[in-house]
Amino acid sequence: METQANKSPHTLFWIAGIAVTVFSAVGIAAIMGWIPTSTSSPSNSAVIAKQSTAPAKSTASANTASEQAREQARAQARARCAECGVVESVREIDTKGEGSGIGAVGGAVVGGVLGHQIGSGRGQDVATVVGAVGGAVAGHEIEKRVKSSKSYEITVRFEDGSSRVIHEASATAWRTGDRVKVINGVIQSNA
């Protein structure tokens, strides 16, 4: 009787398996946002609408002639057009979509099939499981990115010194420096 000695897989298979695993892990980390990518930009994901007003001065030393003149100019501006202002900034906001599970299931199937192609015996079983888990994570993230949406945040500085953030769902024609009028939360031209 002839017995076959247990041979370990060829070194090239080990190197290829490790390279695929590291490449997949880095790809998943980039998709999940755990590491920065070349297209990432530092931005705050929470959308916060702020409204600020000019502080009132109550001390006697602040009531100089120049301060009184500025306050009169502000009062005249408020009397002229309380809803008039200038676009201070326009920001594009990316909103991630919600995953329904279909992407995770599809990714797990594809990852499991691809993982099953690697190795033999227990190594093949491990590769199948790792491929299925990695595929599920990647599929879920891909589904969320496909369902993502964009909105726009426009900050308007009013003539009285206050500012307001207006949110629009579609692409906007407003640019920084445009003179606008905000009526009932809708931006209109004031050229």
Asked if pLDDT for residue 39 goes beyond 70, the answer is no
Angle at CA of residue 13, ends 10 and 16, nearest 5°: 150
pLDDT of residue 50: 36
pLDDT of residue 63: 55
Give the pLDDT band (50/70/90) at residue 103.
Answer: confident
Give the percent of the chain with pLDDT over 90.
1
Asked if pLDDT for residue 28 goes beyond 50, the answer is yes
Per the structure block, which two tokens stand in for 187?
Answer: 């931006």
Higher pLDDT, 57 or 32: 32
- State pTM to two decimals: 0.40
Model confidence pLDDT, tens digit, residues 126-151: 888 888 898 888 888 888 878 788 88
Concatenated DSSP letters of 29-61:
HHHHTSS--TT-----SS-----B-PPPP-SGG
